Structure 1
Amino acid sequence: MSFARVRALVVVGVLAVIAMVFVGVTLVRDTQAGKEVASDCQEGDKLADTRLRQSKDIKINVYNGTDTVGMANTLKIDFQNRQFKVLKAGDAPKKVKGIDEAVAILRYGPKGVGSYQVLRAYFLNEAQPEFQLEREDDTVDVIIGGEFKQLATITEVNQALSQRDPESTQLPPRTCADPNLS
């Protein structure tokens, strides 16, 4: 091996060691480790979980808002067959205004924003949102309306998720995306 080649290898080796030292120092002194603060949050805003979850990770309550007996239990079975975690099923606790003209109403809080988006696709984006800012859990209440026929197929759900209008993907008022969940 010639002296020029040895010198070139030494120079490349030294540069590689210097680069590794800089990377190591950068990783050790990283000030962004831990929790990030959402840059678009205003004072009093709640952090929203906007992740589109898989059905097996979505918790729901199914309520029948119609006069049809047994609708909640039938839909509970349909959701369970699609791997949703159904916590409760039964008649709606009280009469919901406008439910007879709706396919469904989906009630959710800041921790259920992404789950709401997925569930809305199962109703072909025709379910009405009812955001509850003070809600602390990630469960979504599904209240079946008079216009409900059936849940969408997996293909229809995927199409509905890909064809969401920009308005439906906006964050609810007084929330901002949680950067630690993105």
Structure 2
Amino acid sequence: MSFARVRALVVVGLLGVLALAFVITALVRDTQGKAGTAEGCPEGWPLADVTLHEPKDVKINVLNATDEPGRAGAVADDFRNRKFQVKKVGNAPAGIDDVAVLRYGPKGVGSAHLLQAYFLNNAEPAYDEKRTDDVVDVVLGSRFQQLATTTEVNQSLGDLGAPVAPPGSCPAPEDK
């Protein structure tokens, strides 16, 4: 074997050892290993469920805040056809100029994120840290026309990204 080949093998071997040492050092000194978990959360902050649920696991109340009677019932039927668990259907005080308002607490963050896609990210979020249930109130506003199609929902979820814990809350640890 020539001296040039030996020298090249030594250089490549040395680079491999240095790369391995660098990777090991980075893994040992990683300070973000617990990022996105409840560890380090300030005392008293609620834990937000940031899991993106399937429609069959999402509980909703559908409320009509428009002047059109029966709108909540029709939309509730649409949600039932899409496998959502509709708990209550009723009316809310009129005067909402948005497409919809999504009212939820820490346990409903992931569910509200999914529902946001059904309104093509045009629903107004209304997070209440004191709310203790996992039900999301869907309040239909005067600008509501129809729910998004399955393709539009999937595209909207891609645009929205992953659910994020609202300010003043911490992401709950994932169940494994």
Aligned to 1:64: 64
- Where does 1:126-165 land on structure 2 (aligned, <5 Å)? 126-164=122-160
TM-score normalised by L of structure 1: 0.73
Give, in whole Å, the separation in 2 of the partners of 1:142 and 1:80.
Answer: 13
Answer whether contact 1:103 1:123 (CA < 8 A) is retained. yes
Are residue 82 (structure 1) and residue 82 (structure 2) matched?
Answer: yes
Give, in whole Å, the separation in 2 of the partners of 1:120 and 1:173.
Answer: 18
The offset of 1:176, in angstroms, is 0.4
Answer whether contact 2:48 2:109 (CA < 8 A) is retained. yes
Give, in whole Å, the separation in 1 of the partners of 2:118 and 2:175.
Answer: 23
Q: Per-residue displacement from partner, 1:96-118 (whole Å, max 9, x unpaired)?
A: 5xx1x200000000000000000
Q: Per-residue displacement from partner, 1:47-92 (whole Å, max 9, x unpaired)?
A: 1111100000000000000000100000010000000000000111
- Aligned-partner residue type, residue 148 of structure 1: F
Q: Per-residue displacement from partner, 1:10-31 (whole Å, max 9, x unpaired)?
A: xxxxxxxxxxxxxxxxxxxxxx
Give, in whole Å, the separation in 2 of the partners of 1:88 and 1:62.
Answer: 6
Give, in whole Å, the separation in 1 of the partners of 2:117 and 2:87.
Answer: 20
Give, in whole Å, the separation in 2 of the partners of 1:151 and 1:90.
Answer: 18
TM-score normalised by L of structure 2: 0.75
Answer whether contact 1:123 1:152 (CA < 8 A) is retained. yes
Answer whether contact 1:109 1:135 (CA < 8 A) is retained. yes
Q: Mark the CA change 1:120 to 1:45 in structure 2 (over 3 Å): closer, same or farther.
A: same
Pairwise CA RMSD: 1.6
Give, in whole Å, the separation in 2 of the partners of 1:179 and 1:170.
Answer: 13
| Residue aligned with 1:61, SS | strand
Aligned to 2:98: 102
Q: Per-residue displacement from partner, 1:131-168 (whole Å, max 9, x unpaired)?
A: 011100000000000000100011110100000168xx
Answer whether contact 1:49 1:181 (CA < 8 A) is retained. no
Give, in whole Å, the separation in 1 of the partners of 2:149 and 2:108.
Answer: 22
1:119 to 110, 115, 118: 115
- Aligned-partner residue type, residue 87 of structure 1: K
The offset of 1:46, in angstroms, is 0.5
| Residue aligned with 1:142, SS | strand
Give, in whole Å, the separation in 1 of the partners of 2:172 and 2:161.
Answer: 22
- Structure 1: which 5+ runs fail to align? 1-36
Give the count of matched residue pairs: 140
